[in-house]
Amino acid sequence: MFRIRAVEEEISKRYANGKMRCPTHLSIGQESVPAAFSEIAKKNDFAVSSHRGHAHYMAKGGNLKSMLAEIYGKKTGCSKGKGGSMHLIGLSVNFMGTSAIVGNSIPIGVGLGLSAKIKKTNQVSFIFFGDGAIEEGVFYESINFAVVKKLPVVFICENNLYSVYSPLEVRQPKNRNISKMVKAIGPKVHSCDGNDVLKVYGILKKATNETRKGNGPYFLEFSTYRWLEHCGPNFDNNIGYRSVGEFLKWKKKEPIQKLVKKISSKSKNHLEKIRNQVKIEVKSSFNFAEKSPFPKQSDAYEGVYAKK
Ligand SMILES: Cc1ncc(C[n+]2csc(CCOP(=O)(O)OP(=O)(O)O)c2C)c(N)n1
Ligand SMILES: [Mg+2]
């Protein structure tokens, strides 16, 4: 969680320098789910994510230097500087990509689950998406297919209440409970406080073990909240689509403090060590990205995907 927070805060701090020229969707406030995931997924398990994918890429073991270089548009980036923040890929750790099109990576994640089942590889496919992706038709086709074929897929919805500036209540019928609705399609469904990393860990671990055993797909809904604007490095509570009161209420429930309150003072010392290590790693990774060369004009038609 420290590592994700530190990277996202540094992006936010440096963004105004104008060197990162792609849109960026930051995960500050949403660190619990990817952090728990990082302790559960195996290296050869698959994962895909969406426009807000930095944390998932890092949690799957994606190379931090390559991610930052990508955001800076550099040749050393994970998509060779041609994709930017929303097109992250790490084939060496089976992080199979992120997409700017809401819902677009869901069927890809299901296809990866199907491949694991056909080839009997014992891999699990994890699909990260937001509450907005539930409103895309492809979500229903994909999860139905995963249920019918009993695929080893974990659908992970990080419900942060908003799709850009629209809260759930103007997008979906009043009193709809997403988990209940999805349960009717047939996957096993669980939900919990998505800012409580230990709770998320428990639910995600069980779902992963069960789906790996061949017991079919899971849909997990984790409630959380993004602190910054939908896209970009700033706070935007002043523009009126959400209240300062709501923001402060969620800020009190933020993932890192929630964990710190629960642990012993010995563990707190350990956390301080982690925080310091992370600072050093983040600084050197930004230096790498800033110093890396841009792609050449002649690279324009080269394949964008990194090789294993
Ligand atoms: C198919 C499609 N429709 C609309 C958009 C514009 N758009 C980009 S991000 C976003 C919000 C998605 O919300 P959610 O899935 O909840 O993710 P969050 O940003 O909250 O993490 C929208 C509507 C898009 N990129 N793709
Ligand atoms: Mg959302």
For the segment 241-257, the average pLDDT, to the nearest whole number, is 96
Cα-based angle 64, 22, 282 (whole degrees, multiple of 5): 25
Residue type, 20: M
What local confidence, expressed as pLDDT, does residue 222 receive? 98
Using a 10 angstrom Cβ sphere, with 0-12 exposed, 13-18 middle and 19 or more buried, the burial of residue 100 is middle
Shortest-distance Cα residue to atom 13 of ligand 1: 163
Contact 67, 293 (CB under 8 A): no
Contact 53, 98 (CB under 8 A): yes
Total H helices, total E strands in the chain: 11, 8
Q: Percent of the chain having pLDDT more than 70?
A: 98
Using a 10 angstrom Cβ sphere, with 0-12 exposed, 13-18 middle and 19 or more buried, the burial of residue 236 is middle
What local confidence, expressed as pLDDT, does residue 308 receive? 59
C-beta neighbour count of 272 within 10 angstroms = 11
pTM of the entire predicted model: 0.97
What local confidence, expressed as pLDDT, does residue 307 receive? 60
pLDDT digits (tens, 9 = 90+) for 185-238: 999 999 999 999 999 999 999 999 999 999 999 999 999 999 999 999 999 999
Shortest-distance Cα residue to atom 25 of ligand 1: 101
What is the number of the ligand 1 atom nearest to the C-alpha of 51? 9
Give yes or no for residue 168 having a pLDDT over 60.
yes
Shortest-distance Cα residue to atom 6 of ligand 1: 102
Q: From the CB of 23, is ligand 1 less than 6 Å away?
A: no
Q: From the CB of 224, is ligand 1 less than 6 Å away?
A: no
Q: What is the mean pLDDT of the chain?
A: 96
What local confidence, expressed as pLDDT, does residue 191 receive? 98
Give yes or no for residue 182 having a pLDDT over 90.
yes
Q: From the CB of 165, is ligand 1 less than 6 Å away?
A: no
What local confidence, expressed as pLDDT, does residue 305 receive? 60
> Where do the DSSP E strands lie in the chain?
46-49, 95-98, 125-130, 153-159, 162-163, 166-167, 188-193, 218-223
Q: From the CB of 102, is ligand 1 less than 6 Å away?
A: yes
Q: What is the distance between the alpha carbons of residues 236 and 195, in angstroms, rounded to a whole number?
A: 21
CA of 161 to the centre of ligand 2 (A): 5
CA of 141 to the centre of ligand 2 (A): 20
Q: What is the distance between the alpha carbons of residues 170 and 10, in angstroms, rounded to a whole number?
A: 33
Q: From the CB of 52, is ligand 1 less than 6 Å away?
A: yes
Q: From the CB of 100, is ligand 1 less than 6 Å away?
A: yes
Shortest-distance Cα residue to atom 17 of ligand 1: 130
Nearest ligand for residue 230 CA: 1
What local confidence, expressed as pLDDT, does residue 86 receive? 98
What local confidence, expressed as pLDDT, does residue 165 receive? 97
Give yes or no for residue 306 having a pLDDT over 70.
no
CA of 68 to the centre of ligand 2 (A): 24
Q: Are strands 46-49 and 95-98 parallel, antiparallel or unpaired?
A: parallel
CA of 132 to the centre of ligand 1 (A): 6
pLDDT digits (tens, 9 = 90+) for 14-38: 999 999 999 999 999 999 999 999 9
CA of 149 to the centre of ligand 2 (A): 28
Across the strands, what pairs with 90?
95
User: For a pocket test of ligand 1, which of 50, 102, 242 has the largest count of ligand atoms closer than 8 A to its C-beta?
Assistant: 102
